[in-house]
Structure 1
Amino acid sequence: MTLALAGVGAVGVATVLGTGPGAEGAAAHRAAQGRFQRDADAVRDTGATGLVARARDAAGHDTAVRSGVADLDGRDPVHHDAYYRIGSDTKTFVAVVALQLVAEGTLHLDDTVEEWLPGVVSGNGNDGSRITLRNLLQHTSGLADYTDVLFGDPATLTPEGFREGRFTARTLEEEVALATTRPPGWLPDAEAPGSETRWSYSNTNYVLAGLIVEKATGHPWEQEVNDRIIEPLGLRHTMTMGTSAYVPQPTATAYTRFPGREELTDTTLSVDGGPDGGIVSTTDDMNSFLRALMNGTLLPAEQLAQMRTTVPAPGMGGSDEARYGLGIAWRPAEGCDAGVWFHGGTSFGTVSEEVVTPDGRASAAVAVYTTRYDDEERFLRQQAATLSLLDHVVCEPSGRPSHPPA
Structure 2
Amino acid sequence: MQARTTRRLVAGSLALTLGTGCLTAGTATAQPRDGHNRTQAIVDGFTAHGAPGAMVFAEDGHRSWTVTSGTGELGADKPIRPWEKVRVYSNTKMFVAAVVLQLVGEGKVRLDAPIEQYLPGVVQGNGYDGNKITVRQLLQHTSGMADYIPDVLADPDVNNHPWRPEELVRIGLSHPPLFPPGTRWAYSNAGYIVLGMLVGSVSGHDIGTEITDRLIRPERLWRTSYPRPGQKQIQGPHAHGYYAFPGKPVADVTELEPTVPGAAAAMVSTGPDLTRFVRALLAGKVLRPDLLAEMRKTVPAQGPDYGLGIREIPLPCGGVAWGHAGNGPGFDSFTAATEDGRSVFSVVNGHLKDGSAADVRGAAVSALC
TM over 0.5: yes
Q: Post-superposition shift, 1:261?
A: 4.3
Alpha-carbon distance in 1 for matches of 2:273, 2:301:
27
Partner of residue 363, structure 1:
343
SS, match of residue 292 in structure 1: helix
Q: CA RMSD in A?
A: 2.1
Matches within 5 A, 1:310-325: 310-314=298-302, 316=303, 322-325=304-307
Which of 136-145 and 264-273 deviates more? 264-273
Q: How many residues align?
A: 345
Would the alpha carbon gap of residues 104 and 261 (structure 1) be closer, same or farther in structure 2, given more than 3 Å must change?
farther
SS, match of residue 130 in structure 1: coil
Matches within 5 A, 1:24-103: 30-32=34-36, 34-59=37-62, 61-103=63-105
Alpha-carbon distance in 2 for matches of 1:329, 1:132:
19
Instruction: State the one-letter code of the partner of 1:179.
Output: G
Q: Deviation string for 1:206-242 (max 9, x for gaps)?
A: 1011111111111111111111111111110001102
Higher helix share: 1
Higher RCO, 1 vs 2 (CA within 8 Å, ≥6 residues apart): 2
SS, match of residue 327 in structure 2: strand
Scaled by the length of structure 1, what TM-score is found?
0.80
Would the alpha carbon gap of residues 342 and 3 (structure 1) be closer, same or farther in structure 2, given more than 3 Å must change?
closer
Q: Post-superposition shift, 1:3?
A: 11
Partner of residue 238, structure 1:
224
Q: Deviation string for 1:174-219 (max 9, x for gaps)?
A: 100111111111232xxxxxxx251000001110111111111111
SS, match of residue 275 in structure 1: helix
Q: Deviation string for 1:304-327 (max 9, x for gaps)?
A: 11000011002x3xxxxx211000
Partner of residue 314, structure 2:
332
Q: Post-superposition shift, 1:14?
A: 4.7
Partner of residue 205, structure 2:
219
SS, match of residue 239 in structure 1: coil
Alpha-carbon distance in 2 for matches of 1:388, 1:183:
35
Could you say which structure has the larger radius of gyration? 1
Matches within 5 A, 1:136-147: 136-147=138-149
Alpha-carbon distance in 2 for matches of 1:44, 1:55:
19
Q: Post-superposition shift, 1:144?
A: 0.6
Partner of residue 322, structure 2:
341
Q: Deviation string for 1:90-146 (max 9, x for gaps)?
A: 010000000011111111101211111111111211111111100100000001101
Partner of residue 202, structure 1:
188
Q: Is the 8 A contact 2:321 2:336 kept in 1?
A: yes
SS, match of residue 296 in structure 1: coil
Q: 2:362 aligns with which of 384, 388, 394?
A: 388
Scaled by the length of structure 2, what TM-score is found?
0.88
Would the alpha carbon gap of residues 77 and 143 (structure 1) be closer, same or farther in structure 2, given more than 3 Å must change?
same
SS, match of residue 41 in structure 2: helix
Instruction: State the one-letter code of the partner of 2:220.
Output: G
Alpha-carbon distance in 2 for matches of 1:111, 1:346:
30
Which of 128-137 and 265-274 deviates more? 265-274
SS, match of residue 149 in structure 2: helix
Matches within 5 A, 1:3-22: 5-6=25-26, 8-10=27-29, 12-14=30-32
Partner of residue 124, structure 1:
126
Would the alpha carbon gap of residues 277 and 3 (structure 1) be closer, same or farther in structure 2, given more than 3 Å must change?
closer
Q: 1:351 aligns with which of 324, 327, 332?
A: 332
Q: 1:229 aligns with which of 202, 205, 215?
A: 215
